[in-house]
Amino acid sequence: MLELKAVILIAIFLAFGLFIILLCCLRLFRPYHTIIHMRQTEHNQKLVDECPMIKQYRPTPWMINGHIQTIFSDKCRKIPRINFTRILLPVSNNGQIALDWSTIPVRNQPVLLICHGLVGGSHTAYIRWMVKFAHKTLNLCCVIHHARGCGRSQLASPTIFSGVFTSDLHKTIQYIRSIIGSHTPLFGLGYSYGAGTLTKYIGEQMDRCSLTAAISCCASYDYVLTANKLEKGLNTRTYNKQLTQTLISYLKSHENQFKDSTHLNLRDAYKARTMRQYDTATAVPLFGYDDVIDYYKEGSSAQWIQHIRIPTLLLSALDDPICCIKGLPLSSVCENEYIIAVLTKEGGHVGWLQGWWPAKYTWENTVIIEYIRAILKERNYVWHEDDTNDEYEQLSIEFTNLEDESLEESYL
């Protein structure tokens, strides 16, 4: 009798295993067409045609939802070793930000400026794989713009980072332009929190923006909707809790700057259990807002999309468990000839993993490079995509050495 039960149990496990394998095989060969929103112009259609990967995303077969994609991408991928060099750039209110350069740029070399996610930096997997792929495929010089106090940098003044204010990003772009000149292509790329800040910035700048083009990945276009989403169901105990603890850790690492602050009560901030509570205890009093909703509304980039005047690619996944995709104003996108918005059915938050075991490059890495290459081709910009050699003149920058220390935990 026991032997019969054991045989039945084994048969059930085998049947379940075969079912999973069959399901993965079906997912592997199933077409996964993306949803593209844009104003129908000859220019936009040509850009889309130059980017074949933009039309289809085939996810890792066994990653059946956005939660698996999000967690695996953040926690399970190997982080490549890259030796960055750092410069500390002075900004307003006696602050400073860290800029990490993948290489010392040479004359005429296109530059990719990358804005990280919430309390992220050049140590995170998604940033490093993007840098490695950009160098490997297009030989781009990559610069990581760190928000105040992020990326192992010190907070120089009692002012925390905030997506509402884009002056630090503007200072970074001005600084890079002072080095590479006005004619060398400079592309902006943002992930998550950084994507929202970048999108808001290029909208604010309108036709004054000195970026050649911009790419936004997994942005929260409406912070009110995203805060509401993070407070529903299990999100409160998972993503919201982790992100809030990340922000509290950030504040604790710089608490010496706030001990004498009359606007911020550290005890209240450390008690926060959600991002809304954290922002209520920190950003609202520090920046003088009436309430957190007022703060979120001003920081949201959705209202600025209609004002964008440079080529811009927006990438988001419909199953993003963190940022609410409903905040993307599709009507504004389709009325703006400069924007192409691509939505994938799967991909999670900063995921877009592909292949049976997705250890390295992701779908958005390829799409971003295809888009940049298409923009360069459109402008007839000639650049040698192989490694730079001695015949190119290196530009002059004074760097502060940044050793590649033991990698910290990466954050979303």
Round to whole Å and give the CA distance between 17 and 13. 6
The amino acid sitting at 359 is A
- Number of neighbouring beta carbons within 10 Å of residue 365: 22
Asked if residue 359 lies in contact with residue 121, where contact means CB atoms within 8 angstroms, the answer is: no
The number of residues making up the chain comes to: 412
Cβ contacts of 130 within 8 Å, gap of 6 or more:
114, 142, 189, 365, 368
| Six-digit token string for 306 | 């209609």
192 a catalytic residue: yes
Q: Which candidate in 192, 216, 220, 301 is catalytic?
A: 192
Burial class (CB in 10 A: 0-12, 13-18, 19+), 342: buried
Active site residue 349: yes
Q: Is 320 a catalytic residue?
A: yes
Closest CA to 113 of 126, 124, 123, 102: 102
Q: Which of 153, 320, 332, 410 is catalytic?
A: 320
Cα distance between residue 112 and residue 106, in whole Å? 13
Residue 230 CA to chain centroid, in angstroms? 18
**Residue 182 tokens, joined:** 């006005």
* Tokens at 115, concatenated: 């804005």
Q: Which of 146, 316, 349, 410 is catalytic?
A: 349
Residues with catalytic roles: 192, 320, 349
